[in-house]
């Protein structure tokens, strides 16, 4: 069975400092992994995805994530936080164990202080 654990429900950083949002996953198959962002009162938007190509994935707005199979992790990072990054971030796993199914993590709320 597949599952996703986002290790922090809230992360607070100062503007200009690095961002690290942690995600561990479990899958019986070769999964696809995604990070989505949800700004207040806005829809979910894809940041980046891993689909068994390069393990270091670059996304939009300076975000990137590294797929580490040995650690079953897919942490999201950004070198320098911007105020506009304040939002909720979801780590997502999809695999085809038992059919196409997508599982969302519980989400990490990112706060950015001026």
Partner 1 sequence: KAGVTQTPRYLIKTRGQQVTLSCSPISGHRSVSWYQQTPGQGLQFLFEYFSETQRNKGNFPGRFSGRQFSNSRSEMNVSTLELGDSALYLCASSFPHGQITDTQYFGPGTRLTVL
Enumerate binding residues for partner 1 (CB under 8 A): 31-32, 34, 36, 42-46, 49, 51-52, 90, 94-96, 98-107
Question: Closest separation between CB of residue 8 and partner 1, Å?
Answer: 14
Which neighbouring-strand residues pair with 91?
A: 35
Judged by CB, which is closer to partner 1: 13, or 48?
48
Beta carbons of 35 and 91 less than 8 angstroms apart: yes
Name which of 34 and 81 has its Cβ closer to partner 1.
34
Q: Quick one: which of 85, 93, 70, 83 has its CA closest to 1?
A: 93
């Amino acid at each position: 069975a597949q599952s996703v654990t986002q290790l922090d429900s809230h992360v607070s950083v100062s503007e200009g400092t690095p961002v690290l949002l942690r995600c561990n996953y479990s899958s019986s198959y070769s999964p696809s992994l995604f990070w989505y962002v949800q700004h207040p009162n806005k829809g979910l938007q894809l940041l980046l995805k891993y689909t068994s190509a390069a393990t270091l994935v670059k996304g939009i707005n300076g975000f990137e994530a590294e797929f580490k199979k040995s650690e079953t992790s897919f942490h999201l990072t950004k070198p320098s936080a911007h105020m506009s990054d304040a939002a909720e971030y979801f780590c997502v796993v999809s695999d085809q164990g038992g059919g196409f199914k997508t599982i969302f993590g519980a989400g990490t709320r990112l706060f950015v202080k001026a």
